[in-house]
Amino acid sequence: MSDPGGRVVLVETSDLLPGMLPFQAWDALATADIVLVRDPAAHPSAPSLHLAGLDLVALDPTPLDRGDLLLTRPGAPDDRRLAKSLVAAARERGRVVYLLEDDERGLAPALAGMVAEHDIEIELVFLAQLPRGTELLRAVAIMDRLRDPDGGCPWDLEQDHHSLGRYLVEETYELLDAITSEDDADVKEELGDVLLQVLFHARIAAERHAFGVDDVARALTDKLVRRHPHVFTDADGGEDADDVQRSWDRLKADEKGGRGPLDGVPASMPGLALLDALLRRVLRLDMMPSTPEPIVEDLRVTLDALATTRSGSEVTTDLVGRLIAQAAALARVLGVEADAAARATAARLRREVDAAVAAGTSADAGPPATDRHSPWADAAGAPGDAVPTQG
């Protein structure tokens, strides 16, 4: 039996997942006398509904009369014009379905302010909560638009894998700075900038018919499943994180065809980070001391040798390299990230120098040498009494 004065069903849709409609929406569509949208050619759900055999009809707004302009009526004028058209369609056709777009959230209140006087029933069908990661679809679509030869961005269109390389490095360092500052807003922003680089490279590769963003995501998820058999299968994962790391390394070596244990560490990494990455693997291979004492002794020997070498010689360069490697090895066995520790010290040195300059103790101001060197002493010099005690 039809509704006394008609029924209007407002169906919420998503431009990110235009084909995803709840079953209540499909029930309403199947029994509708007419399916209306603002623009059948532009609505994101139109292709899916056309495939389902549904015809979409454009809803033209109806001009407002003097009585429709009362300030007590809910909704903006544009929403009330569409609501008035929906009421007229329901009275004429019976069961009307209207597909809402993201910018039409004000239509329901405007319609509610009119249906009572016209004996029209109104029903709202809401989308379920969108799954996590849905906004990534919008990011991919925006990247596609930026690289579109017809109306895209000239700068984005000029880029290739090589020209973007330095931006990936810069954005990664900016992310590290944000992490160090522990500012969640900055971390979120910089993670987005790194994600942009991933989307950019994937889009460029897709234009070469090499691979696309879905291939990147699929390769990642497949790898994560393969490398975590203790999570995704019944395999034994070992006792702790170290066992899991050894399993990861073994599986990776098998996948890569038995390459060397240090393969895969990029030689272009910054020096200290490269050392730390290599030492992490060397320690797992049990090819270096696992306790601090022998490394500290090596440090003492190297420092003694440096005290007697000539500045700038090849021997000095070799000894300094050994000293840095030994310091990084000591950090590794102590469970400290050498690169992170170096960054923290660099940040401390910057603060000390800025504070000294602000206080008028720069070298140009002519204070005693001991005062001029205080930023170094406070940030990176011998710790002395500043060493924290344990226990």
CATH no. for residue 75? 3.40.1010.10
Other CB atoms within 10 A of residue 198 CB: 15
Length of the chain (residues): 391
Q: Of 227, 256, 277, which marks where a domain is finished?
A: 227
For 348, what's the count of Cα atoms within 13 Å in the CB-facing half-sphere? 14
- What rounded mean pLDDT belongs to the chain? 85
Same domain, 97 and 187: no
Q: Scanning the structure block, which residue is given the tokens 């249906």?
A: 115
CATH of the domain at 171: 1.10.287.1080
d(CA 359, CA 368): 14
Give a yes or no: residue 118 inside a domain: yes
Compute CA distances 28 → 9, 19, 88, 98, 213, whole Å.
7, 15, 19, 10, 36
204 has pLDDT over 90: yes
Token reading at 65: 């009369």
Domain interval for residue 191: 134-227
What pLDDT does 195 receive? Answer: 97
pTM value is 0.64
Q: Of 75, 92, 125, which marks where a domain is finished?
A: 125
Same domain, 171 and 213: yes
Least confident of 147-151, 283-287, 358-362: 358-362
What pLDDT does 231 receive? Answer: 85
Give a yes or no: residue 288 inside a domain: no
Three state DSSP letters for 319-371: HHHHHHHHHHHHHHHCCCCHHHHHHHHHHHHHHHHHHHHHCCCCHHHCCCHHH
Q: What are phi and psi of 58, to 5 degrees?
A: -70, 140
Looking at the structure of the chain, the number of domains it has is 3
Token reading at 383: 């710790």
180 has pLDDT over 90: no
Compute CA distances 330 → 159, 246, 287, whole Å.
42, 21, 14
pLDDT: which is higher, 154 or 241: 154
Same domain, 115 and 170: no
Same domain, 111 and 24: yes
What pLDDT does 220 receive? Answer: 94
d(CA 290, CA 279): 11
Residues 6+ apart with CB under 8 A from 72: none
List, for residues 320-350, the tens digit of each pLDDT value: 999 999 999 999 999 998 988 888 888 888 8
